[in-house]
Structure formats: structure tokens, C-alpha cells
Amino acid sequence: MSIVPFSHIDDRETSTINLNQQQTSFMWYQLLIEILKQMPLTNISRNDLLHECRIEYADDKREIDRIQEFSNTYNSDNVIQCYTKEENEVSFTIGTIFEINIVEELSDTIWHVKLTLCDDDNDLNRIELIDHLKCEIDHISDISFLVKIFIYINELGKAKDLYNLILTDLPSDHRDRISIKNNIGAIHFGNGQYCDALKYYRQALKISRLLIPKDFITLSTILNNIEHAYN
């Protein structure tokens, strides 16, 4: 797991920031589906999902029946279809812009409309960003990439929660604890919580000096973050 450079934003991240909230939500939904396809499926995660769904829809008999049907018929081939609830319809990306060419009334209830898709800079930025992230998903399918997606869409609170979840499963001498502690510190720094940021930066520095004392690049990165937190 790498140290995330929160202090630097590349062109792709800028594209994400420029997207409006609806477009960003749609992009996140697409990437979530890609991640779900590649993450390992376990009985524990399945049972956790069913438990949370039953709590959420406890007062909705129709949804409870659907949840039970999913529980009875679940297999790895239909899980995505159950999640997306696909229907027989044509869907367009949120924010898509069309030019209206022809509008004809064929009957009292039927209209014929011809549209031409217009190029839009934001739409092109979103497509480029999604394609880039899908390429990364092809190589990384664990929870750490899910954290990275949250960081891309500026959901830093969710990223921190997942980092803490990962920490609970890591041995105390695991090297990934260095980057996770540093990145949690960076999240606190971004939120203006400088004391909390220093706390995690120092923990990352301590582990780094213990496990990889000759990795001067990592050490200098963490020390630089500590300096910024003090300033």
C-alpha cells in the first residue's frame, strides 16, 4: 500500500473535482460495480450484507421478501444483477448533453424525438478518469483500492474508516501500517485537525524507523508531513 500524496493533485484528480455532484456520484457507482466484480466473495460478507439489509428494511415487507429471495438464490454469477436491479430500458450518463434535431408527434401518446450526442468537456474528463481507474482496478482488487476511490472522490471520512478497518487486521509489524498511519494523518491534516495529524504522522515515523530504517524516501515524506502540520 502506497503513501497517498494528498498535497499534490494531478490532472485526473482535478477532473474529478470539476465534476458536479451528480456526475461524481454516477462515476463512483460505475467504479463500485467494477470493484464488486473483482473483490473476493465470502460467506461472512454475504451474511453481513443480508443482516444490514434486513435492519434497513425491517418495516418494508416487499423488500424483506426480496432480501429473502436473494438469500435463497444467491450465487456469484447473479450478485451484480441483484445489486444493480437491471431493467429493460435505455440509460444515459448523468450530465449527458444532446442537441434536439427532430420532434414529431406520432399520436396522442407517442412522440418521435431524434437527438445528437454533444461532446462535453466534463463528460470527456469523466470518461477519461473512469477508464484510467478501471485500468488500475484490473491490477488491484483488494480493499486498499476502495480506499483510493474514496480519496479520488473526496470522501475522506469514508477513506479513514476503511483505513482503520484495515489496521485491525494487520499485524503490528506489517509495513503497510506505515502508509496507512501516514495517510490517516494526511486526512486529518486536510480537515484542519493538525494535532490528530501529528499523532498519526509520528506513529508512521516510529514504525518506519523500526521496520525500514534505510528507506529514506519514506522517512523524508513523513518528516515533511510533520513539518507541514507544525506550520
pLDDT at res. 13? 43
The total of structural domains in the chain comes to: 1
pLDDT, residue 108, reads 85
Residue 119 lies in a domain: no
How far is 49 from 44, CA to CA, in rounded Å? 9
> Which pLDDT does position 129 carry in this prediction?
64
> Does residue 82 lie in a domain region?
no
Report yes or no on whether pTM surpasses 0.85. no
Half-sphere exposure of 154 (CA within 13 A, CB side): 14
Q: From the CB of residue 175, how many other CB atoms can be counted at a distance below 10 Å?
A: 16
The confidence score (pLDDT) of residue 16 equals 42
Q: Could you tell me the residue range of the domain that residue 224 belongs to? A: 155-231
Would 134 be classed as within a structural domain?
no
- The segments of the chain whose pLDDT lies below 70 read 1-45, 75-96, 119-143
Q: What is the pLDDT of residue 10?
A: 39
